[in-house]
Amino acid sequence: MKADLVITNARLVDHSGEQRGAIAVSGGRIAAIGGNDAMPPAERTIDAGGRVVMPGVIDPHCHLGVNYDFDEDIRTETAGAARGGVTTILLFARSMEQKYVPYYWDRRERGEQGAVVDFGFHFGIQKAEHVSEIAEIAEQTGVQTFKCHMGYEVGNSIGIHSSPDSWVFAAMREAAKLPRGVVAVHCENTELVELLKPEMKATGRCDLAAYSESRPPFVEEEAIERMIHLAEITGCPLYVVHTTVAAGPTMAAAARVRGIDVWIETCPHYLTRTAYDADLGTTAKISPPLRDRTQLDGLWKGMLNGQISTLGTDHVPFKKNGGDIWSEKPGVVSFPWELPLMLHFGVHERGMSLQRLSELNSYNPAKRFGLHPKKGSLSVGGDADLVMIDLDEERVVEHPSGKGTCLYEGWKLKGWPVLTLSRGDVVYDAAQPDAEVVYGRGRCVTVPDAERYWD
C-alpha cells in the first residue's frame, strides 16, 4: 500500500531523542518511522537532505478576534503561523456577552471555515458566573482550561476584568474535578498595580521602562507564590502564563518538589527584548511588561535547566492606538518568528538542544492540554504535524502585512522552517512562496469527550 508522502534523509528530532532516517505519512497520520529503505512506496517523496524534521509547534497561548474580526484573524494569523512551523494554536478567549457553550460552537464553526492549521480554546473567567459554568463548559465543549487575569486595573485599555482571589480559588476547586482541568493565571498583584501605577504617572515619565517599573518584578513574584499556594490547597493544576521574572521558574520547580502541579510558560519577547532597548517605544507595550537584562538572562537559565515548561507567543494582532504608555494597548505578534527566534538565540547562541526545544514547543503543551499522543511527538499513529528546519539558513525578519506589532523586523536570524505539514497537508513550503493558501482545512482540537479518539 502506498503512503501519501515519505520524507527521506531527515534528522528526526522530538522530545525523546534523535535519529537519522525517514518518516512516512498516510491519511494525515504518521504511518512509519525508520531507515530510508524501510519506507513504503509513496505518491510523493521529499529528500530532506539532512535537515531537521520535528513535530509541529503547538502554540498554547494566543488571542484572535480581539481587535480585528475573528473570521479575518483566523485566516490571516493561522497562515502566518504555518509559515513559522506552527501546526496547532490554542486561543485564550473571553466572552462577556454570551455564555461560553454557544460562544464555543459559534467560534468553532467559524474557525473551521477559515483556519489554515488546527486550533483550540481556553476560556477566560471574566465574571463570577463563569465559575459556575465550568462543569457544563467542560462537558459540552471539551474546554478544560480556564484563565484568570490579574494586573488589569479598572478602566484598562482592553477591557479585561481582573480576577479576585475568590474567583481564582473557586475556579480551581471546579477545575480540579475535571479529568484534564487546568487553571491558567496571569500573575500580577492587582492591588499593588493600582497603587504603584499612579505614583509612576505622577513623575511625568511616559517611556516604555516607566511602564515596566510601575509594576516591578515583585508584583509578579508575589502573585505567583500566592497562586501556587491556592493550587496546593485545591489540588488543581496551575499554569502560569507569560512569565517575565527569573524567580518564577525557580518557585515553580520548588513547588513541584512538594508535589504541586505547576507549570511555567514564557514568551519569545521576554527572552529577546527588554524595556530598555533603545529602539523600542510605547507600541512595544506588553502585559506583563518587558523587563531588564537580569530577568531575561534568568529566564534563559530556566529554559535551559528544565524549570520552564512551555513557550507561548501571546500573539495578539492589536491595532495600537498611538497613545502614551499608560493608555496604549498591550500586545505584539510572534507566530511566524517564535521558532526562528528560539533556533537563533537558543540553539545557536546558547547551545539549547533541539530535543529540549521540541519538548518546550510541542510535547509539553500537548501533554498539558490533553492533545498527546495525537499531537506533540513523532509517533506512529499520531497526526502528521511536522516542520522541516534548515538550521543554517539566514533570513531577515519581515512583517509585510503590518497587522499587529512585530518587535523583530529587520533582525537577521539563523535557522528557519522551510516546510510545514498539518495532518499530512503541506501548508507552507519556502520553495513555493506564491503557493495558494488553503483556508478552512484547520480543525478544532478541543472537543467534547464524545469526539475524542486518542485517549
Q: What is the domain-level CATH number for residue 181? A: 3.20.20.140
Looking at residue 97, what is its pLDDT? 83
- Are residues 339 and 414 part of one domain? no
Q: Are 204 and 172 in contact (CB under 8 A)?
A: no
Is residue 107 assigned to a domain?
yes
Q: What is the pLDDT of residue 393?
A: 98
Asked if 116 and 252 sit in the same domain, the reply is yes
Query: Based on the domain organization, do 82 and 176 belong to the same domain?
Result: yes
Closest by Cα among 143, 166, 330, 181 to 244: 330
29 and 84 inside one domain? no
Q: Do 325 and 182 share a structural domain?
A: yes
Instruction: Note whether 43 and 65 are same-domain residues.
Output: no
Question: 3-state SS of the chain?
Answer: CCEEEEEEEEEEEECCEEEEEEEEEECCEEEEEECHHHCCCEEEEEECCCCEEEECEEEEEECCCCCCCHHHHHHHHHHHHHHCCEEEEEEEECCCCCCHHHHHHHHHHHHHHHCCCEEEEEEEECCHHHHHCHHHHHHHHCCCEEEECCCCCCCCCCCCCCCCHHHHHHHHHHHCCCCCCEEEECCCCHHHHHHHHHHHHCCCCCCHHHHHHCCCHHHHHHHHHHHHHHHHHHCCCEEECCCCCCHHHHHHHHHHHCCCCEEEEECHHHHHCCCCCCCCCHHHCCCCCCCCHHHHHHHHHHHHHCCCCEECCCECCCCCCCCCCCCCCCCECCCCCHHHHHHHHHHHHHCCCHHHHHHHHHHHHHHHCCCCCCCCCCCCCCECCEEEEEEEEEEECCCCCCCCCCCCCCCEEEEEEEEEEECCEEEEECCCCCCCCCCCCCCECCCCHHHCCCC
For residue 99, how far is the Cα from the chain centroid? 25
Q: Are residues 212 and 361 in the same domain?
A: yes
- Residue 220 counted as domain residue: yes
139 and 88: one domain?
A: yes
Cα–Cα dist 5/179, whole Å: 36
DSSP β-bridge partners for residue 7: 23, 46
Q: What is the pLDDT of residue 454?
A: 84
The whole-angstrom separation of Cα 203 and Cα 220 is 22
Residues for the chain: how many in total?
A: 455
The domain in which residue 81 lies consists of: 57-368
Contact 315, 65 (CB under 8 A): no
Cα–Cα distance for residue pair 439/455, rounded to 1 Å:
28
How many folded domains does the chain comprise? 2
In a domain, 378, yes or no: no
239 in a structural domain: yes
Contact by Cβ (8 Å): 159, 120? no
CA distance 143 to 321: 32
Q: Indicate the pairing of strand 3-14 with strand 17-26.
A: antiparallel
Q: Would you say 275 and 212 are in contact if contact means Cβ atoms under 8 Å apart? A: yes
pLDDT at 293: 98
Asked if the structure places residue 444 within a domain, the reply is no
Cell digits of residue 179: 479529568
Compute mean pLDDT per 10 residues along the chain, 455 residues long, and list them: 96 98 98 97 98 98 96 98 98 93 98 98 96 98 98 91 97 98 98 97 97 98 98 98 98 98 98 98 97 98 98 96 92 98 98 98 98 98 98 97 95 98 98 95 97 88
Whether residue 215 is found in the same domain as residue 277: yes
Query: Quick one: pLDDT at residue 303?
Result: 98
For residue 259, count CB atoms less than 10 angstroms from its CB and return exposed for 0-12, middle for 13-18, buried for 19 or more.
exposed
Closest CA to 330 of 269, 409, 394: 269
- pLDDT the model gives residue 130: 97
pLDDT at residue 132 in the model: 96
Please check whether residue 285 lies inside any domain of the structure: yes
Beta bridge partners, 445, equal: none
C-alpha cell at 122: 481556553
The predicted structure's pLDDT at residue 323: 83
- Report yes or no on 414 lying in a domain: yes
Q: Which of 337, 368, 399 is the last residue of a domain?
A: 368
pLDDT at residue 155 in the model: 87
Residues 326 and 413 reside in one and the same domain:
no
Q: Count how many Cα atoms sit within 13 Å of the Cα of residue 64 in the half-sphere of its side chain.
A: 30
- Residue 215 near residue 242, CB atoms below 8 Å: no
Judge whether 14 lies within some domain. yes
The residues pairing with 8 across neighbouring beta strands, listed in sequence order, are: 47
- Round to whole Å and give the CA distance between 374 and 347: 26
Q: Is residue 234 within 8 Å of 209, Cβ to Cβ?
A: no
Same domain assignment for residues 341 and 415: no
| CATH number (domain holding residue 428) | 2.30.40.10
Looking at the structure, do residues 65 and 46 belong to the same domain, yes or no? no
Q: CA-CA distance, 39 to 298, in Å (whole number)?
A: 44
